[in-house]
A = this chain, B = another copy of it.
Amino acid sequence: MAAHDPTKIGNEVWHKTGQGKYIGSAIYGASDGIITTFAVVAGVAGAGLSAAVVLILGLANLIGDGLSMAIGDFLSGRAERKYQKSEEERELWEIENHPEGEREEIRQIYKNKGLEGETLENLVAAITSNKSLWIHTMMTEELGIYIDEDSSPLKSAVVTFISFVVAGFMPLLAYVLSSHVPIFAANQFLAAVMITGITLFTVGAARVFVTGEKWYLGGLEMLVVGGISASAAYLIGFLLKGIAGAA
């Protein structure tokens, strides 16, 4: 690398390694887990339902949503891999059966990017001299597919599930521990809000590892998003409280 702003090197490292993908899955899973469970807790609190209902539905939602998210991640990761593979094979077939058409496509792509004359012809000759380079150039430039062979959809799904469940458990912690921790028992919902706030900020700040943004901005952003989501859930619970009373 040429010398440049050293604080930016981190981004490239995360981008270049498979490891970075798992950190991304962990943070994505954790964010979703907290916000989903927090919305359940807030909805139940707004409706004035019992702490038992918080626990039952919080846990049911945590496992149900965590599973669907992890399975969904795995399946879409695998489908994407398969789709890329099939496009790769198709490009290979085209290059072998219609080399002139495909060479012309490469020429048009780089002509649109501003090359011309001998420079353009040299580049076209260079790219089409190597079948693998030719295929991958077509895939990237024509289809926007950039193949990443490094990360495993299964590992990524497991990481998503674990971080979803662990982080998503935080809004329930005050309810689970309230019989042992007097300060939680005094106002379970308030305790849950505080624990969740800290977790939201921490997970948001941890995004610095993936996005390179400032940690406190990431933390604040996550806190605001989680807050809006939970407030909406609380409000709806509160407004519909009458139905529960009537039931």
Contacts and interface: CB of A to CB of B under 8 A. Distances in A.
A51 B247 contact: yes
A20 to B, nearest CB: 10
Contact of A133 (B51, B97, B110, B211): B110
Interface string A216-247: 00000100011011101110110011011011
A8 interface: yes
A187 interface: no
A84 B52 CA distance: 47
Interface residues of A, number: 93
Contact of A123 (B67, B93, B97, B123): B123
Of residues A114, A115, A240, which shows the largest number of chain B Cβ atoms within 10 Å of its Cβ? A240
A58 B145 CA distance: 38
A132 interface: yes
Contacts of A68: 35, 39, 225-226, 228-229
B244 A63 contact: no
A88 interface: no
Nearest to A147: B144
A64 to B, nearest CB: 3
Contact of A148 (B11, B56, B144, B244): B144
A72 B237 contact: no
Q: What are the nearest 7 A-B pairs in CB distance?
A: A43-B60, A64-B233, A39-B64, A52-B247, A123-B126, A2-B101, A68-B229
Interface of A: 1-5, 8, 11-12, 15-16, 31, 35-36, 39-40, 42-44, 46-47, 49-53, 55-57, 59-61, 63-65, 67-68, 71-72, 75, 79, 83, 87, 90, 93-94, 97-98, 101-102, 105, 110, 113-115, 119-120, 122-123, 125-127, 129-130, 132-133, 136, 140, 142-146, 148, 211-213, 221, 225-226, 228-230, 232-234, 236-237, 240-241, 243-244, 246-247
9 contacts: A2-B94, A15-B145, A36-B36, A39-B68, A47-B56, A68-B229, A75-B225, A122-B122, A126-B126
